[in-house]
Structure 1
């Protein structure tokens, strides 16, 4: 059964190009040209992934992402942000709100298909069957791709989960940002280092016992990158 991709852009030409290439790759495609319609379709049609333009009428892509992440029904929907803006700040905002990846316009349709496939692999794949990691009240189930703290489920995006799994599977080992980009995305990923910083910020907000205090689980290794705590104080 083919998976459905929701393409959201107010430029019909871009929607057509994305549709043609994604359908050729075996996906079903539905589309929206504004933010409110995108939200409605995401909730009604349950797509496997959303390709979301940043600049939209009615409700921009950042507000759509924020609304999706706050809704339990769509909190885990993979999102690839599509943007004509090249400023690093705009990309960081999208990632910090919970987008899994981004592509800058103009883009290669083949790259779009490759990014869609990569994000879907991360969202649907298994990291290490049968293995659980527990530290304090935090339980990371690598087979079910779920995270719980004191029995309560913590909703993570596919990218956030994979980043957490890499760090938690090697407690105490420092990873550079480049190594984490390579592990979470792939060796050909063209993202910038602060992509990892944005996802780490999201993870800390979700999994740290005190999101306003100093990190106790995901620790900064200054001049290197990040590591997962070996012990929980």
Structure 2
């Protein structure tokens, strides 16, 4: 049961099976050094993973087992282990399950969470959609209509390529699409600073990639 809890808690983590194997090996009496050598990790890293596992399940691995210390969030992850796959299948993002379990922990039960979201429909769209999908799987019915997938439309250019106002028109065409993209990123759990930095970096990389080597050198050299 403890190992299943850990699998549920680590969810999307690509190293979940390795981490569970470390805990299982430790419970069977293997030392940190032995586990480190077996899995190609440092001893300190093995200790960190096992200490984190101990906290997640409320003890019983390194410290005395105290079930009351285990977070309700952990119990919910065990009750709904398929949430991660649902989010991935419906392209809701890897952050959405974390938000879902946070909301579920606050509500105390799936029923209360769904009732809360019915009364407050302005919750994050992707978290709300994941709650709907979980309810649908558990109860066989949808508590509200499925989330509409917004399609980002770009207005076609109205000027020929050599027109002096074509660049400005392109900016105006992309402005609303960019705003939609930013909003969708925010709904998925990214902060405004993270979104802004990501967009700037992507624009910089795209711009540099399209410049001839000489032009890029001249621009950087004169800056």
Into which bin does the TM-score normalised by the smaller protein fall?
A: under 0.3
Q: Which structure features the higher share of helix residues?
A: 2
Larger Rg: 2
Provide the TM-score with structure 1 as the length reference: 0.24
| TM-score, length basis structure 2 | 0.25
